[in-house]
Structure 1
Amino acid sequence: MPLAAPTRYAVIGNPVAHSKSPWIHARFAEQTGQQLAYGTICAPVDEFASQVRDFFAAGGGGLNVTVPFKLQAFDLAQDHASARARAAGAVNTLWMSNGQLHGCNTDGVGLVNDLRRLGARLAGARVLLAGAGGAARGIVLPLIEAGCASIDIANRTPARAVELAASFAGAGHGAALRGTSYADLPAGTQWDLVINATASSLSDEAPPLPARAYAAGGLAYDLMYAARPTAFMRQAAADGAAGTADGLGMLVEQAAESFFIWRGVRPDPAPVLADLRKQLSA
Structure 2
Amino acid sequence: MTDRYAVIGHPIGHSKSPLIHSLFAQATGQDIAYTAIEAPLDGFNQTVLGFRADGGRGVNVTLPFKLQAFQIATEPSERARLAGAANCLKFEGDRILADNFDGVGLVRDLQHNLGCPLVGKRVLLLGAGGATRGALLPIAAQGPALVAVANRTADKAHALRRDFAAHAQLLSGGYADLAGQSFDVVI
Greater Cα radius of gyration, structure 1 or 2: 1
Report 1:62-141 matches (<5 A): 62-77=58-73, 79-97=74-92, 99-116=94-111, 117-141=113-137
Q: What's the TM-score, normalizing by structure 1?
A: 0.57
**Aligned-residue offset at 1:88:** 3.2
Change (3 A) 1:159 1:9: closer
Deviation at 1:140, TM superposition (A): 0.8
Rounded to whole Å, the distance in 2 between the matches of 1:44 and 1:130 is 25
Cα distance, 1:133–1:63 mapped onto 2, change above 3 Å? closer
| Superposition pairs of residues 208-219 of structure 1, within 5 angstroms | none
Match of 1:255 in 2: none
Deviations 1:186-226 (A, max 9, x none): 86x5332122xxxxxxxxxxxxxxxxxxxxxxxxxxxxxxx
Correspondent of 1:149 among 145, 152, 156: 145
Structure 1: runs of 5+ lacking an equivalent: 196-282
Alpha-carbon distance change, 42 to 177 in structure 1, aligned in 2, over 3 angstroms: closer
Question: Is 1:166–1:177's contact at 8 Å kept on the other side of the alignment?
Answer: no
Displacement of 1:8 in angstroms is 0.9
After the TM superposition, list the runs of 4 or more consecutive aligned residues in structure 1 that deviate by more than 4 angstroms: 181-184
Structure 1 counterpart SS, 2:63: coil
Shift of 1:151: 0.6
For structure 2, list consecutive stretches of 5 or more residues without a partner in the other structure. Answer: none
How far is the alpha carbon of 1:156 from its aligned partner?
Answer: 4.5
Amino acid aligned to 1:80:
E
* Correspondent of 1:177 among 166, 170, 175: 170
Normalising by the residue count of structure 2, what TM-score does the alignment of the two structures yield? 0.82
Q: Which has the higher strand share?
A: 2
Change (3 A) 1:45 1:136: closer
